[in-house]
Amino acid sequence: MNSVRTDAAEATDLVPGLRAVLLTGDSARLAALLADLRPQALLGVWYELEAEERERVLSALPPEPAAELLSNLSSEEQPEILESMASLQVAEMLEELSPDDLADTLQALEAYDPERSREVRGFLDPATLAVADALTGYDEEEAGGLMTPEFISVRATMTAAQVLTFLRRAAPDAETIYYLYVVDADQRLKGVLSLRQLIVSPPEARVQEMMSPDIISIRTDTDQEEVARIMADYDLSVLPVLDDDDRLVGIITVDDVLDVVTEEATEDIHRMGGAPIDIDYVRANPFLLFRKRASWLVLLVVSMTLTFNVINHYEHILAEVVILAAFIPLLIGTGGNVGAQVATLVVRALATRELELRDYFRVLWKELKTGMLLGLAFGLFMTGYVFFFQSEPRIAVALGITMVLIALSANLVGASLPFLFRRLGIDPALTSSPGITTVMDVLGLLIYFRVVIWVLGPLLTGEAAPAP
Amino acid sequence: MNSVRTDAAEATDLVPGLRAVLLTGDSARLAALLADLRPQALLGVWYELEAEERERVLSALPPEPAAELLSNLSSEEQPEILESMASLQVAEMLEELSPDDLADTLQALEAYDPERSREVRGFLDPATLAVADALTGYDEEEAGGLMTPEFISVRATMTAAQVLTFLRRAAPDAETIYYLYVVDADQRLKGVLSLRQLIVSPPEARVQEMMSPDIISIRTDTDQEEVARIMADYDLSVLPVLDDDDRLVGIITVDDVLDVVTEEATEDIHRMGGAPIDIDYVRANPFLLFRKRASWLVLLVVSMTLTFNVINHYEHILAEVVILAAFIPLLIGTGGNVGAQVATLVVRALATRELELRDYFRVLWKELKTGMLLGLAFGLFMTGYVFFFQSEPRIAVALGITMVLIALSANLVGASLPFLFRRLGIDPALTSSPGITTVMDVLGLLIYFRVVIWVLGPLLTGEAAPAP
């Protein structure tokens, strides 16, 4: 019996031994060593190896573990590594993949090297190929791209005994036998029968008596985030997928969805942090990272030049009261932090569907109040802090008022932008902490100088008295 | 057959109708209306109702859907709503809960009202109570708190036919019957038998011939994040939980883990955004939000006052060349954005275990190169931009050099802090975008003024020539 160790640590331990065996060139010893590795440990080792070592490891693996390893690689890595293998060997390995993984891998190979793809397809079993091809063309991020066609369907008129006999034959090829789908002659879904129900029923019971006609199903074009949410909300372990004619075309199992939830969380976290980068960070080289990151940062830097224009415009005020410049980072930085904080809360609540578009005014009202509280607290702090360093009470008051207005507006901007993005059909996570910070830098400076002119106007030679 | 609609929208549609029925006081019509609602729609309606309406809805529900609803409420909401019901009715409802949910609810009730808890316990079946109490005491965020003791265990010497007969009797009480655990006389786990294997085996086959002895298991104190990772990595739908003596004490099913993954992602996203707040945003009122958010913001505001001290210290430089103040937000803002971006990538890779502590120097080396590229790109932009507004080339050069150094150091700080936090046993997500921004504001200003003195020294009356 295995208890689980941390696979990454395990993998590192294994690499020197594996290298030693690779150096000897003893293929029997290599095969024996690889046979002892669990899939996840093998994947851990994989990423520590050089390209040439990877080719030799993959060639030494039997088709089944090789296929398992392959299915864990990204669609960029797959074709690269397949290039080094004979087409027949590739085909043997691909035969072991589940239809959804096979469809993905064939698509990746086709895009990378069409000639090679044709050759490999020639070696594949036509039946396998037909099933995989039926899956091609669905969006990878929708239910159609997640589902497998390897479900078990039965007819309503069958008896429990007949279903059990059928199951003994069909079980090896199915993704799950724990839920059997009842379909009519047109493949339309009529009900679901759990193996649990089947086991506790008498042998002569009919499927139509045992099945549950109340099924939650989705369409092939349902977004994968929605799939994950439905499975979590209804505590489902399998979800049937229907085409536009209500025909059952596939099922999605919860373990596939577990990966989706993690991927979607990564995407959201990257977007929120101003790094909306669809690459594997660990594998990306500095040039790729630079290209991907810079394209986003440039947008922020260019927007940020607005801060220069604002300050440049009010330069005469700073020239008169230089100390005012010293408060700029504190004021606009706090605005950015307040805004990023509330945006984070709102973006996540929108992503998990705790909030919907129609909740906007409720949120705005709540954040107006919260923003007033935050503004008053930080405004009082600011006035006290400034007065301590600067005996001129007018400056202290101006700074306090600025802080109130910045915190309040940051709170409202941070709460509103994610809703605006959702309304425009953009992922709210793209509001991003850096995005909010940039907006609040510009807005904060405008507020600051307007307040300063208003409160200190009479003291500034270049400014008239404030408007009434 | 149901297709799934967006439940939130559905819930809103239902509220007026429900309110109308509540007003009539017709309990039969209320019961009929509620019987038609699916659990998730009911939960959606729930949050739209007033406290008094909730009490009436809960009382009108049969024990089973009432229990389902209750298990979806938070441990703060549960005892509040139970207060309004008779203890016998509460007990009837609690009997329907799974043992892990019952344990959680009883703990919540005990903390809220010990007197009431004693009364309700008096009405509960002693056997139910014993199972639940065995679960109490495990940390809610560990495997022990997630598991249910309702697994099915069999002996190695049983035949397939015996197991099937046993299953028919035991199935109704088990969380899953799709995996049967083979234990010895001391409850030590010896193997696992899938119902799939059982179905395809002849009736006289022995469990020991059919079972797989190679089992991945975890301990009661395994962290829930680790549990989720193991299930995802190994594509498991059930995971057995052992105590310190290797005895099987429970199982965890993948649908419970799906919620964990979403919760953990929310926690990480909140922390990254500077909002490490363990409250339900949608339900929190402004005062609670203020209290929770301010405690974190105050830390940032106080740290941010360092920026005032730095600028105040170099005030004489700004007094001489006022335009230098106008570049401050652009420089330090870009530092914050670069730092937040890389920190986001590193924090997420640490969370998903793509990166481990030992990868630090590899990451640092990579980010040194990426940071140089970003620094040079933004430095060149900055020099050009400044030269366009300011004919003095020395200022343009000083700003360019500052930008290079700020972008580079932001990249190194953003890549290093998450590793430092992990090393100190703190969640790397607490580095947070606002935290990095604040660090880079202070560091950026220090770099800026040092570079300005170095490059412009001879032009500044108050400063000596730069050190050699």
- Give me the CATH number covering residue A354: 1.10.357.20
Contact A325, B314 (CB under 8 A): no
CA dihedral B101, B107, B112, B114 (to 10 degrees): 130
**Within this chain, do residues B346 and B239 fall inside the same structural domain, yes or no?**
no
Phi, psi of B218 (to 5 degrees): -130, 175
Establish if A278 belongs to a structural domain: no
**Within this chain, do residues A262 and A290 fall inside the same structural domain, yes or no?**
no
Residues forming a β-bridge with B206: B159
Query: Average pLDDT of A77-91?
Result: 83
pLDDT value at residue A63: 83
Query: Average pLDDT of A213-239?
Result: 87
How many domains, chain B?
A: 3
pLDDT value at residue B11: 60
> CATH number of the domain that A45 lies in?
1.25.60.10
pLDDT value at residue A441: 93
Residue A278 has pLDDT above 80, yes or no: no
Residue A81 has pLDDT above 60, yes or no: yes
pLDDT value at residue B466: 45
* Partner residue facing A234 (CB), from B40, B304, B367: B40
Say if the Cβ atoms of B340 and A274 lie within 8 Å: yes
Residues from chain B that touch A328, judged by Cβ atoms under 8 A, are 311, 325, 328-329
pLDDT value at residue B3: 47
Last residue of a domain, one of A94, A109, A139: A139
Cα within 13 Å of Cα(B465), Cβ side:
1
Establish if A148 belongs to a structural domain: no
CB burial class (10 A; 0-12, 13-18, 19+) of residue B319?
middle
> How far apart, in Å, do the first and last CA atoms of chain A sit?
82
Residues from chain A that touch B178, judged by Cβ atoms under 8 A, are 178, 195-196
Task: Strands of B10-70 (E only): list them.
Answer: none
**Within this chain, do residues B169 and B216 fall inside the same structural domain, yes or no?**
yes
Question: Which of A171, A157, A169 minimizes the C-alpha distance to A205?
Answer: A157
* Partner residue facing B437 (CB), from A285, A300, A336: A336
* Partner residue facing B233 (CB), from A40, A213, A231: A40
* Partner residue facing B4 (CB), from A230, A318, A323: A230
Establish if A273 belongs to a structural domain: no
Distance from CA of A23 to the nearest CA of B (A): 26
Contact A211, A156 (CB under 8 A): yes
In this predicted model, what pLDDT tens digit does every residue of A366-415 receive, in sequence order?
999 999 999 999 999 999 988 887 778 889 999 999 999 999 999 999 99
Grade residue A180 by pLDDT with cuts at 50, 70 and 90. Answer: very high
For residues A166 and A416, which has the higher predicted lDDT (pLDDT)?
A416
pLDDT value at residue B12: 64
Say if the Cβ atoms of B329 and A325 lie within 8 Å: no
Angle at B341 between CA B339 and CA B342, to 5 degrees: 70
pLDDT value at residue A38: 72
**Within this chain, do residues A305 and A346 fall inside the same structural domain, yes or no?**
yes
* Partner residue facing B1 (CB), from A217, A304, A330: A217
Model ipTM value: 0.76
Establish if A280 belongs to a structural domain: no
**Within this chain, do residues A243 and A291 fall inside the same structural domain, yes or no?**
no
Say if the Cβ atoms of B190 and A1 lie within 8 Å: yes
**Within this chain, do residues A241 and A343 fall inside the same structural domain, yes or no?**
no
**Within this chain, do residues B11 and B114 fall inside the same structural domain, yes or no?**
yes
Contact A69, A46 (CB under 8 A): yes
Say if the Cβ atoms of B274 and A337 lie within 8 Å: yes
**Within this chain, do residues A329 and A417 fall inside the same structural domain, yes or no?**
yes
Question: Which of A138, A107, A132, A100 minimizes the C-alpha distance to A252?
Answer: A100
CA atoms of B105 and B94, how far apart (whole Å): 8
> CATH number of the domain that B163 lies in?
3.10.580.10
**Within this chain, do residues B258 and B291 fall inside the same structural domain, yes or no?**
no
CA atoms of B79 and B70, how far apart (whole Å): 10
Residues from chain A that touch B346, judged by Cβ atoms under 8 A, are 281
Q: Minimal Cα distance from A438: which residue of B?
A: B333
Tracing tokens 């759990």 back to the chain, one arrives at A194
The residues near A311 (Cβ < 8 Å, ≥ 6 apart) are A318, A328, A445, B325, B326, B328, B329
Q: Is A241 helix (H, G, I), strand (E, B) or coil?
A: strand
Say if the Cβ atoms of A237 and B233 lie within 8 Å: no
Establish if A194 belongs to a structural domain: yes
Phi, psi of A148 (to 5 degrees): -120, 145
Distance from CA of B118 to the nearest CA of A (A): 31
Residue A8 has pLDDT above 60, yes or no: no
Say if the Cβ atoms of A1 and B189 lie within 8 Å: yes
pLDDT value at residue A330: 92
Distance from CA of A56 to the nearest CA of B (A): 24
Last residue of a domain, one of B139, B168, B202: B139
Q: B236 is in which domain, residue-wise?
A: 153-267
Say if the Cβ atoms of B265 and A270 lie within 8 Å: no
Say if the Cβ atoms of B1 and A325 lie within 8 Å: no
The residues near B408 (Cβ < 8 Å, ≥ 6 apart) are B368, B371, B372, B374, B375
pLDDT value at residue A277: 76
Query: Average pLDDT of A283-304?
Result: 87
pLDDT value at residue B352: 83
pLDDT value at residue A1: 42
Number of Cβ atoms within 10 Å of the Cβ of A223: 14
Residues from chain B that touch A200, judged by Cβ atoms under 8 A, are 167-168, 171-172
Residues from chain B that touch A4, judged by Cβ atoms under 8 A, are 216-218, 230
Say if the Cβ atoms of A301 and B262 lie within 8 Å: no
CA atoms of A349 and B149, how far apart (whole Å): 33
**Within this chain, do residues B310 and B438 fall inside the same structural domain, yes or no?**
yes
Say if the Cβ atoms of B262 and A352 lie within 8 Å: yes
Distance from CA of B264 to the nearest CA of A (A): 9
Residue A107 has pLDDT above 90, yes or no: no
**Within this chain, do residues A241 and A369 fall inside the same structural domain, yes or no?**
no
Distance from CA of A154 to the nearest CA of B (A): 16
Q: Minimal Cα distance from B368: which residue of A?
A: A286
Low-confidence ranges of chain B (pLDDT < 70): 1-12, 40, 458-459, 461-468
Establish if A466 belongs to a structural domain: no
One-letter amino acid at A215 equals I
Q: Which two tokens stand for residue B30?
A: 């209320």
Cα within 13 Å of Cα(A116), Cβ side:
21
Contact A247, A187 (CB under 8 A): yes
Question: Which of B99, B84, B151, B158 minimizes the C-alpha distance to B129?
Answer: B99
Residue A466 has pLDDT above 70, yes or no: no
CB burial class (10 A; 0-12, 13-18, 19+) of residue A293?
buried
Say if the Cβ atoms of B3 and A218 lie within 8 Å: yes
**Within this chain, do residues B308 and B449 fall inside the same structural domain, yes or no?**
yes
Distance from CA of B114 to the nearest CA of A (A): 31
Establish if B362 belongs to a structural domain: yes
Establish if B32 belongs to a structural domain: yes
In sign, the C-alpha dihedral spanning B304, B343, A410, A319 is positive
Average pLDDT for chain A:
85
